[in-house]
Structure 1
Amino acid sequence: MRVVLSTYGSRGDVQPLAGLAVQLRELGAEVRVCAPPDEEGARRLAAVGVEMVPVGESVRSVVRKALPDPGDFPRRVAAMVANFHAAVAAAAEPGGAVVATGVFPAVAGAQAAAEAVGARFAYAALQPTMLPSPHHRPFEFPLQPYRPGLTDNRELWADNIRTMNALFRDPVNAHRASVGLPTVDNVRDHVFTDRPWLATDPLLGPWPQPAELEVVQTGAWLLTDDRPLPADLSAFLDAGEPPVYVGFGSMPLRGAPDAARVVVEAARQQGRRVVLARGWADLAPADGADDCFAVDEVNQQALFPKVAAVVHHGGAGTTTAAALAGTPQVVVPQMVDQPYWADRVAELGIGVAHDGPVPTVESLSAALGRALTPEVGARAAEVAGGIRTDGAAVAARLLLG
């Protein structure tokens, strides 16, 4: 059977699909991944021998541009729907399967392609807050804020249908009609289906009950990483006490141009050296001191057990990797699902949620001080033992069973 996995997102969206692809291939499936042509994702897929079909613009090039004109939004949605429909339809086969995650227009294009080809379709959320639930509120789109007076989560999710229709229904339906598919009234629920998958760890990112929506929680889709750490990084780690890792992944940090100085000084206030991940914000130490080591993309599974704390933006993948390592976290959430992960880290007692997206030396130093206490370290180690590692295998068996 041929399975097509599809996403438009950064490494945090592509790497889980790589983990699922490996498990599917071990069960005999032929797998292709439709994803944006970013180097990090392409490299991870190539490393495990999974064929990648590049779709659309590099996400990194998009986030580095000036903020787009809101008036151009419908055209960009239509282009993404069409691009992913074309790529997935060309890769899929009748009787096969398509699994999609990432931003909504890309999922809508993949779903329409599966429908047109005659392949089974599954939508997979990489965080609980993407799915309607009485236990959390929907993500608030900048172009479509919550209606005044709505506070109940059920009411907000009902209104979210109006929001999603306003943003996406016309371009999605125009494309569906152009390829001979029927149009839909409720675009959100049609694309997400009535039985979506949730690829998060049940302890770290649970799906609380009761809930009206039937959700299949598989566990997080992890990709085993056997790459050794670079020799110079290993030498830095061995040269002193465990440092603090600081990295913000694909976040450009437009509101925090001085972030590198802030995080290094905050760690120094706690008497800690720093491993600074450059990321898409191009963070770099300013003073060249030997207590700070800058890295590009690195094996987090090998690195995180060797550091004293992980300071990050709250992406699902980094949160899970730090939790699995048993290392305390400080989450500085920037957008979308990241406040959710910050709250979960705080609720579980495995780290600290920073108040707001822009840290100061004082605020980050205080958060680090709390995260580095023995109590948080012990709790992080305890929770690590409850994190499952079989989510991708569960999903693969579910798809092919």
Structure 2
Amino acid sequence: GVQIVPEEDEHKFPFDLLDPTKMIPEELVPVEILGKMTLNRNPDNFFAETEQVAFHPGHVVPGIDFTNDPLLQGRLFSYTDTQLSRLGGPNFHEIPINRAIPEVTNNQRDGIHRMQIPKGKVSYHPNSMGQGCPFQAMIKEGGFASFEERIDSSKIRKRSKSFFDHFSQATLFYNSMTDHEKRHIQNAFSFELGKVQLVPIRQRMVDMLLEVDEDLAQKVADHLGLVPKKLPQPITGSIPADGNPDDHHSLKVKLPITEAPSVSMANKLPTNIKARRIAILTADGVDDDAFTKVKKQLCEMDAIVQIIAPRHGFVTTKSGEQYPVDDSLLTAASVVFDAVYVGGGESVNTLLEHAGALHFVAEAYKHCKPIGADENGAELFKKAIPHLKDAEDGVITNGDLDEFTGAIMLHRFWDREMNPLPA
């Protein structure tokens, strides 16, 4: 589920993708681009609504047409074959997640997995048996119209010069990241290249990263025990048989901006905790506040709260009240939660002796997530996290729920990565 909402302050659509040195006047940019897409729900069924989505660059709305980009032109027809093989037949566009909102009336009939039941006998146009129906939509009725473009040139089999700008967008993306995001990119390259068995291939990839950013290349090279070196031109070996190698040198266009902060996920922190998944870690003997105060406040803020205990069934509070357990430490994992809160009371003594509870808390901390507790519940933090400081961002030990929810809004506390827990 998405909706388009206006974007007030961000740099809208800074440059022409075909000519990155040229800015696009804002009044010429379609309104859909000037907005942003806001995800407003999760799929009800991941397979039906995500795995079966049939993206196709040839499916456009009126007002948008295709550029002469050779890669796009190739994909305009090849994506049909892709979806035919992915989704098993010619009627992939009729699967619920792919079907058009208005009724589609055309001459397409039959074939495997047909969802609609069209009436009539004809599957061609023009026709007399169906009185010519369905008629093609006119432009004034919303029918498609190609953009009229005057062309006066020779038709040749050759890539445009802009095709050889291999690195400017990658550099812009990397420059737009925060320090911890850059660190994650460095570690991701190091992890994946570390599994490549042939050292010359590792070396070439590190050398290519040098074209994006020197610090990125150096960090990845250090992890792999390599030294980045400048690649000779042409960088790519994809040269036609009769092509002149000098015509295939890579270039790096100077873009009108050096970074785009809106690209960074760290710059998109929410202002509430709606839909955040929060685990309340507890056991028998827990203070009633864990339910009457903590869970109540979190739920009122539209968070998703689950009770995690050593076993399934019910937990009995200090006053004798019983509450159902959502999941047990045998099957639950902290990685599926955004934050963890430890309920106080006698339950803490049980959790201190439970290896699963210690691991649950330590793993949440290791993944830089907010963890909270009152002074009693904080004893579990001290045992699970040996190097925990008395005052540390994202770790609430005084039971202050406002501090805890404020920490959840900040999402993660990436400084912990600089002094991580042992695996």
Query: Which structure has the greater CA radius of gyration?
Result: 2
**Whose helix proportion is higher, 1 or 2?**
1
Tell me if TM exceeds 0.5.
Answer: no
Kindly indicate whether structure 1 or structure 2 has the higher relative contact order, using CA contacts under 8 Å at least 6 residues apart: 1
Report the TM-score range of the alignment, normalised by the length of the smaller protein.
Answer: under 0.3
Q: TM-score w.r.t. structure 2 length?
A: 0.26
